[in-house]
Structure 1
Amino acid sequence: MTRVKLLYVNRMRDRHGKVRFYFRRHGKRTPLPGLPGSAGFMAAYQAALAAKPSPVATGQDAKGTFSALIAGWYGSASFKGNAPGTRRTYRYDAERFREKHGHRLVADLKAEHVEKMMDAKAETPAAANKLRQFLRQLMKQAVRTKLITADQNPMRGIERLKSNNPDGFPQWEAEHLALFRAHWPIGSKPRVALELLLCTAARRSDAIRLGPQDIRDGAIYFRAQKTGDAVGVPISAELREALDAMPVRPLRVFIATEYGKPFTGNGFYNWFTARAREAGVPKGLGVHGLRKSAACHLAEQGFTVPEIAALGGWKTLALVQHYIRGVDRARMLKNAMARQARLQAKP
């Protein structure tokens, strides 16, 4: 069967395991029906291809609007100073916001409007807080460019929503890892993915780019896309065994699609989540939970918080401390019990 390769088309598997296709350009994602090459698919593809991107605001009539503010923000030092991954996230959020509110005046945005937008996302606090973070950055640009004063900034006093899960993404426990390993043996692609994520504590945006070229002297070296930091992690025995069992062929990346191409971040997330469910791993445990588990695994081996932050590319020590606090509590309890036993053993 001939494979149809089309510009801007992304393929991903949803949480039910169904393959879906999307047209993605200029930060906007449009679902495409059916399969590539079918009449319905090609009609939707041609329509998406012909659609005009959101215009960059120009001219006197656009002055003071969110469209003009966003266009100026893209060219600012504050935006360009972010890591590439962060810039992509902000640009995606900005284009979605501009599509809906680009014609509105920046000076008209009030705190109550922001609170209403966040309230609409109350069932998903992470999404509400992501919107808050984006608007905080955007309104700082509005203050810098004197569209509003610092006192007029509507983001002052806007609080984060409390998460439904204060501990964040659930961590994979030993029994979950055992389930996955029992279902996906050494030599399978899902097993390589698991061991790679667990060994490196890499974000999905980094894990999908790792390949043989990143291995030197028994370690994997890469630069984290989100932070730009250089990361080096010793290869674990489990990862070495999984890599050695991979089919011998020219590899660009360790984890590739069925077509031999690198995954997109979302595509890998959906693919790995589906493989975890097939292995019987409970719903809710995914890629990010493995990153948390990797931090805890390093802590259990005696690595310090700064060492774990350096190995995993975490920017702040506080985040690592938050991840491993359960390990710290268990270690302190174990030490306290050992101390008590020694005291009781004394004559």
Structure 2
Amino acid sequence: MDERRTVLAEIPDQLKLPVALAMFTGLRKGDVLSLTKGAIRDGKIWRRTNKTGQELSLPIHPDLAELLARYSQHDAITVAATTNGTPWTESGFNSSFIKALAKLKQEGKIGDGLTFHGLRHTVGKLLVEAGYDIDTVRRWLGQRTFAMAAYYTETADTSQRMREVVAKLDPLGSKSRT
């Protein structure tokens, strides 16, 4: 969580919105960079994903709404844009993003292993940790299969849920006798 906050606070302004979109929605980089302003309406992000063709209707988190209001004031048709107000190319975004993360790493503000796609895994993990089932995660991330949703959530900390399980588990029926 600290690294996510640091990245959002420290990266250049033109990177904040695409990173925030991935951080709050789990959208793939191609979907984030091609997201048009018209796809945001009625408090939701409406998107057919590039990879799976799944239709998404994702409610906009209040923190993301604040960032959208602050950083989408430009002439590009896309939500995220370069400093020149033009849509990002994937290679241009990759170059800027990698340089920004390298600077933060060199300054000791983040550790190894942060990637843009890792935000997708983080969203899946956070959804499971918040108590949502794999079907909800699958639908939120626009996955076609449960297996892919499970893949994106395998590192979730489920220890609290396991404590709840053991509190209810009663193989000998002793809880019903007391």
For the superposition of Structure 1 and Structure 2, which TM-score range results when normalised by the shorter chain?
A: 0.7 to 0.9
Partner of 2:39: 214
Aligned residues: 167
Q: Is the 8 A contact 2:80 2:88 kept in 1?
A: yes
1:258-296, CA deviations, whole angstroms, 9 ceiling, x for partnerless residues? 333222223323322222233333232111101100111
User: What is the Cα deviation at residue 318 of structure 1?
Assistant: 1.0
User: Kindly, what percent of the aligned residue pairs are identical?
Assistant: 27
Max Rg structure: 1
User: What is the Cα deviation at residue 183 of structure 1?
Assistant: 1.9
Structure 2 unaligned blocks of 5 or more: 170-177
Partner of 2:147: 318
Alpha-carbon spacing, 1:181–1:338, altered in 2? closer, same or farther (3 Å): farther
Counterpart selection for 2:164 from 312, 325, 335: 335
Structure-2 separation of matches of 1:317 and 1:244: 34
Partner of 2:71: 246
Alpha-carbon spacing, 1:255–1:281, altered in 2? closer, same or farther (3 Å): farther
User: What is the Cα deviation at residue 181 of structure 1?
Assistant: 3.0
Q: Is the 8 A contact 2:48 2:54 kept in 1?
A: yes
Partner of 2:4: 177
Counterpart selection for 2:59 from 224, 231, 234: 234
Q: Which secondary structure state, in structure 2, belongs to the residue aligned with residue 326 of structure 1?
A: coil
Structure-1 separation of matches of 2:3 and 2:163: 23
User: What is the Cα deviation at residue 227 of structure 1?
Assistant: 1.4
Partner of 1:74: none
Alpha-carbon spacing, 1:334–1:254, altered in 2? closer, same or farther (3 Å): farther
Q: Which residue identity is paired with 1:294?
A: V
Q: Which secondary structure state, in structure 2, belongs to the residue aligned with residue 302 of structure 1?
A: coil
Question: TM-score, normalised on structure 2?
Answer: 0.79
Greater length-normalized contact order (CA 8 Å, ≥ 6 residues apart): 2
Q: Is the 8 A contact 2:75 2:86 kept in 1?
A: no
- Output aligned runs, 1:1-347, within 5 Å: 174-184=1-11, 188-246=13-71, 248-279=73-104, 280-327=109-156, 329-335=158-164
Q: How well do the aligned residues superpose, as a CA RMSD in angstroms? A: 2.6
1:127-181, CA deviations, whole angstroms, 9 ceiling, x for partnerless residues? xxxxxxxxxxxxxxxxxxxxxxxxxxxxxxxxxxxxxxxxxxxxxxx12112213
Q: Is the 8 A contact 1:203 1:291 kept in 2?
A: yes
Structure-2 separation of matches of 1:268 and 1:201: 17
Q: Which secondary structure state, in structure 1, belongs to the residue aligned with residue 80 of structure 2?
A: coil
Q: Is the 8 A contact 2:26 2:124 kept in 1?
A: yes
